[in-house]
Amino acid sequence: MKLLNRYTTFSISYDIPKVIIMNSGLPINIRKERGYEIAATSLIVETEKGWKVPSQSGGGSYFVKSNGFSAKCTCKDFKGGTDKCKHIWAVEFIITGQIKRKAEPVQKKTYSQNWPAYDKAAICQKSQFMELLSDLTNSIEQPANSMGRPALQIRDMIFTSILKVYTTFPLRRFMDEVEAAHSKNYISTIPCYSSIGHFMQRGDITPILEELVTITSLPLKSIENSFAVDSTGFGTSQFQRWFSFKYGKEIKSRRWVKVHVMIGTKTNVITSVKITSEVENDSPQLEYLVKDTARNFEMTEVSADRAYLSQNNLELIDSFGAMPYIPFKSNSKATERGELWKKLYHYFNFNHEDFMEHYHKRSNVETTFSMIKSKFSGSVRAKTWDAQVNEVLCKNICHNICVLIHEMHELGIDFDFKK
Domain assignment of residue 318, yes or no: yes
Instruction: Report pLDDT for 71.
Output: 87
Q: State in Å, rounded, how far the first CA of the chain is from the last one.
A: 110
Q: Are 23 and 38 a contacting pair, CB within 8 Å?
A: no
Do residues 149 and 168 touch, judged by C-beta distance below 8 A? Answer: no
205 and 56 in one domain? no
For 38-51, the pLDDT digits (tens) are 888 888 888 888 99
| Residue 44 and residue 186 in one domain | no
Positions in the chain whose pLDDT score sits under 70: 1-28, 81-82, 101-109, 111, 336, 419
Residues with Cβ < 8 Å from 345, sequence gap 6 or more? Answer: 328, 332, 333, 334, 337
Same domain for 132 and 160: yes
By DSSP bridging, strand 323-325 and strand 301-303 are: parallel
Q: For residues 365 and 403, give the distance between their C-alpha atoms in angstroms, rounded to a whole number.
A: 14
Asked if 69 and 119 sit in the same domain, the reply is no
Query: Residue 207's pLDDT is what?
Result: 97
- Within-domain flag for 110: no
Residue 419 is predicted with a pLDDT of: 67
The number of domains in the chain is 2
Q: How far apart are CA 253 and CA 271, in angstroms?
A: 31
Tell me how crowded residue 164 is: count the other CB atoms within 10 A of its CB: 23
Judge whether 109 lies within some domain.
Answer: no
Q: Helix, strand, coil % (nearest 5) of the chain?
A: 45, 20, 40
Q: What's the CA gap between 300 and 52, in Å, rounded? A: 46
Residues 341, 206 share a domain = yes
Q: ∠ at Cα 26 (22, 28), nearest 5°?
A: 65
410, with CB counted inside 10 A (0-12, 13-18, 19+), is middle
Q: Is 321 helix (H, G, I), strand (E, B) or coil?
A: coil
- In this structure, the answer to whether residues 205 and 59 fall within a common structural domain is no
Residue 191, domain member (yes or no): yes
> Is 90 within the bounds of a domain?
yes
Pair 33, 71 in one domain: yes
Per DSSP, the three-state class of 273 is strand
pLDDT at 181: 97
Range of the domain at 264: 115-143+150-419
Residues 201 and 342 in one domain: yes
φ/ψ (deg, to 5) at 135: -65, -35
What is the per-residue DSSP string for 326-367? -PPPTT--SSSS-HHHHHHHHHHHHSHHHHHHHHGGGHHHHH
Q: Look up the pTM and report it.
A: 0.75
pLDDT tens-digit map of 71-129: 889 888 887 766 788 888 888 888 888 877 666 666 666 767 888 999 999 999 999 99
Q: For the chain, what's the residue count?
A: 419
Residue 148: strand pairing partners: none
Do 238 and 382 fall into the same domain? yes
CA distance 163 to 401: 11
Residues 50 and 170 occupy one common structural domain: no
For residue 272, being part of any structural domain is answered with yes
Does 76 lie in the same domain as 205?
no
Residue 105 lies in a domain: no
String of DSSP letters for 80-106: STT---HHHHHHHHHHTTSSPPPPPPP
Q: Three-class SS string for 11-29?
A: CCCCCCCCCCECCCCCEHH
Residues 119 and 241 in one domain: yes
Residue 106 lies in a domain: no
